[in-house]
Amino acid sequence: MSHAISPLALPFPAMPPVAGVALRVARARYKTWDRCDLTFVTLAPGTAVAGVLTQSRCPSPEVEWCRRALVLGQARALVVNAGNSNAFTGDRGRQAVEAIAARTAAHAGCQPSDVFVASTGVIGVPLPIDRAEAGLDAAFVATPCDWQAAAETIGTTDTYPKGATTTAIVDGRPVTLVGIIKGSGMIAPDMATMLGFIFTDASVDPAFLQGMLTAANTRTFSCITVDGDTSTSDTVLAFATGAAGNATLVDDDSTGADAFRAALTDLCHQLARLVVRDGEGASKLIEIAVTGADNDRSAHRIAMSIANSPLVKTAIAGEDANWGRIVMAVGKAGEPAERDRLSIRFGATQVAEAGLAVAGYDEAPVAAHLKGSEIEIGVDLGLGEGSATVWTCDLTHGYISINADYRS
């Protein structure tokens, strides 16, 4: 974790243990830092798993490993490495993942395919197998830790640990959902995001869990962006241990399925916004709501065009109500839009409508809104029923400083 904590940071919440999940951390020393950088999680036999993974055409060996293992739907262990993404490392990278899975499987008494591996950090440097194995050996005998220690250990340029929790009643039984996530830059997911890990004691069929996670991802992790860049290593995994003892959720007709789906989506929403709050150099959280588009997909693309515009993001950083930059971002999105139907608001104040600035609008409430830490931008295209909401952050000098010095 960095020392300059984001001004948008939220305190780490009190998070209960999840039956069937044990957390341990250790020092593998992937970088020259004095901190834990390897997280080892054991999962009860019978744990179901689902995941969403980066759509990058240059994925890490860890992503490829998880993609194959997810087909089987079962998990017994998770290993997360911080400080080295092991991406773009050829056979040496693949060998490192295989070695981690084999050593962990031998310790846990399971198959290598039951072990999930994720890594984050610098691209192009092979993960040192000797350090990984030494880190694993230390983790195997470490005292179990809490969620905050695990959240801190999976971070890289994060300035604060990120976690969230919620509950639901499923089949008459209380179930717990807990998640930890890391992410600060290189955040613009395409069906996945950063590194995020969700744990629940509910009993859920793997295929049904996969469907619910995919749907939740579409509305949460795939609706955030810090800088428009998609990582080679983006991974979100959800593990369901079944220890709550509910009748297994197998489809939408299962008792409590709706409640669990809502809880899972809420948890993903909480985690996604925590990442944007830690956007590298961020000083403002920005919510962009697009309505009146041809369809939801079109609305999402327009919203992301606005969210990824450096001109929009720097205007917000400078607290400048330059709504012309919003018009620019809508126009370049490649989606249906009609200039003379377009309306734009900052906060609750309408600043433009029907292709023109609102006559005599008072900029004072807009200026006051932009001085806050949470900014709302609304765009209505006046074309149809499509809508989407995405979240981003402003672009400051801090982003340049962090990324110019990233490898040092």
Binding residues: 156, 182, 193, 280, 403, 408
Q: What is the dihedral of CA 383, 384, 389, 395, to 10 degrees?
A: -10
Q: Where in the chain is the domain with CATH 3.10.20.340?
A: 285-404
- Of residues 144, 137, 132, 199, the one with CA closest to residue 166: 199
- Residue-wise pLDDT tens digits, 149-208: 999 999 988 999 999 999 999 999 999 999 999 987 554 555 444 899 999 999 999 999
Give yes or no for residue 229 having a pLDDT over 70: no
What is d(CA 155, CA 2) in angstroms, rounded to the nearest whole number? 9
- Residue-wise pLDDT tens digits, 242-268: 999 999 999 999 999 999 999 999 999
> Within 13 A of 405's CA, how many CA atoms are on the CB side?
9
Range 361-381 average pLDDT: 95
| Mean pLDDT for the chain overall | 93
Give yes or no for residue 109 having a pLDDT over 50: yes
Assigned architecture for domain 285-404? Roll (3.10)
Q: Find the length of the chain.
A: 408
Binding residues for substrate: 156, 182, 193, 280, 403, 408
Model's pTM, two decimal places?
0.93
Q: In what order do the strands lie in the sheet with 349-353?
A: 356-357, 349-353, 343-346, 374-380, 285-293, 386-393
Enter the DSSP assignment of 144. Answer: P
The pLDDT score that the predictor gives to residue 82 is 95
The pLDDT score that the predictor gives to residue 408 is 47
User: Percentage of the chain surpassing pLDDT 90?
Assistant: 83
The pLDDT score that the predictor gives to residue 17 is 98
What is d(CA 70, CA 366) in angstroms, rounded to the nearest whole number? 48
The residue written with tokens 């400078």 in the block is: 318
Catalytically annotated residues: 193
Enter the DSSP assignment of 323. Answer: T
Give yes or no for residue 123 having a pLDDT over 80: yes
The pLDDT score that the predictor gives to residue 353 is 94
Q: Where in the chain is the domain with CATH 3.60.70.12?
A: 21-277
Angstrom CA distances, 218 to 159, 288, 386, stand at 26, 16, 15
Give yes or no for residue 230 having a pLDDT over 90: no
The pLDDT score that the predictor gives to residue 185 is 58
47 and 239 Cβ atoms separated by less than 8 Å: yes
Residue type, 297: R
CATH no. of 21-277? 3.60.70.12
The pLDDT score that the predictor gives to residue 226 is 81
- Of residues 312, 216, 326, the one with CA closest to residue 266: 216
The two tokens of residue 216 are: 């939740």
Between residues 279 and 138, the one the model is more confident about: 138
